[in-house]
Structure 1
Amino acid sequence: MIIRNVTAIDGQGSTPIADAEVVVTDGRFSAIRSAADAPAAADGTSVLDARGGYLVPGLWESHTHLGGFAYSKPENERAKYISQLLTDFLSAGVTSVVDLGGPLELELAAREYRAKATDAAAGLFFAGPVFTGIQGWPVLDDPARAPIAYQTDNADVAHRQALELADQVDFIKCIYDGEPGAPDKLPLDALKAIVAAAHEKGKKVLVHVHERIDLEEAVASGADGIEHAFQPQNPGSTAEARDIAALLSETNTYYCPTLVTWEQIAHNGDAAYLQRLVDDGHATLNDIPQITSRPIYGREFPRHSPQDSHIRFDYAMHTLALMHDAGVKITAGSDVAILMPTPPAALLRELYLLAKAGLPLPAVLAAGTRHSAEKTGQEATNPAMITVGAPADALLLDANPYTDIAHLTDRSHHIGTMRSGRPSWDASHPQT
């Protein structure tokens, strides 16, 4: 298949190729070139006129929890429900989804279900159960949540469990959150043992943190990625952010702030916030009754207060640009969708917030594509770029995403998606 009359944006910062010809062969990009340099199409080749659109790499959701959404369904329907969520993600331009913690059996079942499905959907990568302390987050004192985590206070046990788990998952997730020495916090020696085991198996380790010291100890332990913007000790100073930026840049550690998580928790129950989502194009008035009818609406989120979430959100919004300027590789993940119409809408909101925080638009696209692939160790097989040899995962837009973030995050600008060379285009952009 050949895509013509398109501007190709590779996602790695190169100058976009206007009036390009993009060739897809056996589900991969086989050529990206100027139309002026292109030979005539061979007989029988399918040619798509993109009508002046912009082709960007398919988006990645690098931090979500599909199992959490599925648990509202009967057990025998959960794998099918996750499959439907992956289809919904694809329709929103998201070609790869990272489930960053959930029951291993459910995630394996979802992958098996997708292997047999014939409809198009986003690809799935998962961590399986997370590592945490005894009754630590997210288990706390709820026995029903036990399958989503290994609760440990022993480094040797954690090392053995991590070695076993690494053979079944795509990467490993640790929760390093809590008071030092408290039973609910994963011990530092256990964190180091888990990282060592995962790296022995060639798998990345992503670490959920709370405060600066958690982040620093996670990086010192060899973490490949940090999940969540940290809680500053002094919200009025950027000094902590500058120190953390230097550390993350020096160690090439990825940073996923999950801005939309803290924004939602901080504003849960706030009708004015829902109106802001409508005004920003991330919800409709028709979505609001469904959102406000959810059991979580207006209730305090476990472990994270609205006040602390406000601080984390505001500080991250104030300091992410300086982190980017320092060379930190930022990734896009939404985590929760408690006030969003859908999980895919949460990721699009996250990309919008990254731009609002001052990241240049090419950096926002990198956060939602190649940095997320790299963070999870998938760059060798799926670099999340429009480059020769990469899987043909792409999003076709009708306007330039480098001039306005809305061109990427407002679905009215989405013409269609392509997953492994399989296009799903609007009828007004036919193939010939």
Structure 2
Amino acid sequence: MIIKDVTVIDGTGGVPRAGMDVIIADGRFADIRPSSAGISSTPAGEPVLDGRGGYLLPGLWESHTHLRDYGVSLPEPERFAHLQDVLAGYLGEGITSVCDLGGMPELSPELRDASKADTAVASLFTTEAVFTGIDGWPVTGLLGNRSGVMEVGSADDARRYLQGLPLDEVDFVKCMFDGKAGGGQRLPRAALEVIITAAHEAGKKVLVHIATGTDMREAVEAGADCIEHSPIPRDPRDLSEVDELARIMADAGTLYCPTIATWEQLAYGAYPDYLDQLITDGILTPDGAKEIMARPTYGQPFPKHPAEECRIRFDYAMRTLPLFHEAGVKIVAGSDIARVMPTPARALLRELQLFAKAGVPNSAVIAAATSRAAEKVGKEATMGTVTVGSVADAVLLDADPLADVSHLIDQRHVRAVVSSGHIAHR
């Protein structure tokens, strides 16, 4: 495939390159060169995309979701096909890769393997290696469901679990290191260190769910590769805690996935004026709002996360996100939930919109959903950028997302989605 005369935004935060021809072969970007250089005749049958006036950027990543939430209410025989449809829905909105952070051991391996062979769905990355404390989250959640998590009370517990765990078969490791009251025991720090060491020896990244600033700091010190969720502030009026955390994370090179859309939904989702705001922002349609209000979960409290706490957490995350960015912390985009969204894909697009609203530069917003997300799961060498040798996942837009992130959010601007070198949508 050749994408002709396009402006390339490579996903690294570098300067856009206008007037480029992008050559794709064997599912990867084979060459990127000025259109003026000329290209030999296109082989018969090879598709050509006219990129004139367009902007080519890497396919987006949803780097933190839980697919189980989108299929658990269905009869078991229907779940696999439904989740394939969910992955196809992601791809249709320009999201070419999805990271499921655990909770679906009965389906994840098969669904992941199928996604790698199907260019009509987003590629899935997942794990069956999820650790929590004794009675820790999510065991203390809605159903008290212990499937998909390993409850660890000591470093020796961690070692025993690890002995029987084929780390070479998972894409990454997830740890719930949650110091919030009412959630069971926190995973012991010594156990976290054992898990991180073993995962790193196996070449796997460790993504650590936190609740407090203390959790965040200790997880970074233990060697976490990415912090999942923004913290509950010690004092919402005092930003000195963030200054310290941002410095520690920047020094360590730890990535940060704040999942701000989660706190927004849990804080304001039950209010009709929030749905009106989503309509105004182009995330939702009036008919979509009616569908959401008809859902059985609409307006229901979420276990462990009261609405008032989520309001504090959301407001604090929005105020502090630019501080993390300015300190040099690498920010990653992941939405976590889609309770008040029309589709799971829209939740990720809302996260990007919130990053921009918080004041993060548009180039960093794009990197957060492309190159940084690939780095989060150790795929930065082969995915997440429009560079020679990288997997050819891309979105072709008709307007510049660096000028306005809404050009990335509004699906009317999407000319085409490319999945592993194949035109998936046009």
TM range (shorter): over 0.9
Alpha-carbon distance, 1:153 to partner: 0.6
2:217 maps to: 216
1:430 corresponds in structure 2 to: none
SS of structure 2 residue aligned to 1:403: coil
Q: Deviations over 1:360-406 (max 9, x none)?
A: 00000000001011011111332x00000001000010100000010
Q: Tell me what 2:228 maps to.
A: 227
- Work out whether 1:138 is the aligned partner of 2:142: no
**CA separation in 2, counterparts of 1:277 and 1:179?**
30
Give the conservation status (yes or no) of the 8 Å contact 2:137–2:183: no
Determine whether 1:268 maps to 2:256: no
Partner of residue 239, structure 2 = 238
1:326-365 to 2 correspondence within 5 Å? Answer: 326-365=327-366
Structure 2 stretches lacking a partner, 5+ long: none
- Corresponding letter in the other structure for 1:265: L
Ranges in structure 1 where 5+ consecutive residues have no aligned partner: 427-432
Q: How far apart are 1:180 and its partner, in Å?
A: 8.3
Cα distance, 1:300 vs structure 2: 1.2
Instruction: Please name the residue that 1:3 is paired with.
Output: 3
Aligned partners of 2:116 and 2:47: how far apart in 1?
Answer: 26
Q: Secondary structure at the match of 2:169?
A: coil
Residues 142 and 48 from structure 1, CA distance in 2 versus in 1: closer, same or farther, beyond 3 angstroms?
Answer: closer
Change over 3 Å in CA distance of 1:322–1:112 after alignment to 2: closer
Determine if the alignment matches structure 1 residue 392 to structure 2 residue 381.
Answer: no
- Give the CA deviation at 1:206: 0.5
State the TM-score, normalized to the length of structure 2: 0.96
Q: Secondary structure at the match of 2:145?
A: helix
Taking structure 1 as reference, are residues 425 and 105 closer, same or farther at Cα in structure 2, changes over 3 Å only? closer
Determine the structure 1 residue equivalent to 2:150: 150
Separation of aligned partners in 2, 1:425 and 1:131 = 38
Q: Give me the CA root mean square deviation.
A: 1.8
| Number of residues of Structure 1 aligned to a counterpart in Structure 2 | 424
- Give the Cα–Cα distance (whole angstroms) in 2 for the partners of residues 350 and 361 of structure 1: 13
- Consecutive aligned runs of 4 or more in structure 1 exceeding 6 Å deviation: none
1:418 corresponding residue in structure 2: 418
Q: How much has 1:47 moved relative to structure 2?
A: 2.2
Kindly indicate whether residue 114 of structure 2 is the aligned counterpart of residue 104 of structure 1. Answer: no
CA 402–57 in structure 1, closer or farther in 2 if over 3 Å, else same: same
Tell me which residue corresponds to 2:35: 35
1:289 deviates by 1.8
Q: Distance in 2 between matches of 1:365 and 1:124?
A: 20
- Asked if the contact 1:162–1:198 (Cα under 8 Å) also holds between the matched residues in 2, the reply is no
Percent identity for Structure 1 against Structure 2: 47
Mapping of residues 77-88 of structure 1, within 5 Å: 77-88=78-89
Q: Does 1:315 align with 2:319?
A: no
Instruction: Please list, as runs of the form range in 1=range in 2, the aligned pairs for 1:150-299 lying within 5 A after superposition.
Output: 150-162=150-162, 164-178=165-179, 183-299=184-300
Q: Quick one: structure 1 residues 278 and 32, their matched pair in 2 at CA, closer, same or farther if it must change by over 3 Å?
A: same
Q: Letter of the aligned partner of 1:235 in structure 2?
A: P
Counterpart of 1:5 in 2: which secondary structure?
strand
More displaced 10-residue stretch of structure 1: 345-354 or 14-23: 14-23
Amino acid at match of 1:230: P
Opposite residue 379 of structure 2, the aligned amino acid is Q
Q: CA shift at 1:113, angstroms?
A: 3.9
The whole-number CA distance in structure 2 between the counterparts of 1:182 and 1:66 is 22
Quick check: 2:97–2:124 contact (8 Å CA) kept in 1? yes
Cα distance in structure 1, aligned partners of 2:224 and 2:343:
30
Contact persistence 1:139–1:148 (CA under 8 A): no
Query: In structure 2, do the counterparts of structure 1 residues 83 and 347 end up closer, same or farther at CA, with 3 Å as the change threshold?
Result: same
Contact 2:207 2:225 in 1 (8 A): yes
What amino acid is the match of 2:106? E
Contact 1:61 1:96 in 2 (8 A): yes
The residue type equivalent to 1:259 in the other structure is: I
Shift in Å, 1:425: 4.3
- Cα separation, 2, equivalents of 1:317 and 1:12: 23
**Contact 2:267–2:308 at 8 Å: present in 1 too?**
yes
Provide the rounded CA distance (Å) in 2 between the counterparts of 1:141 and 1:2: 49
Shift in Å, 1:143: 6.2
TM-score (norm 1): 0.94
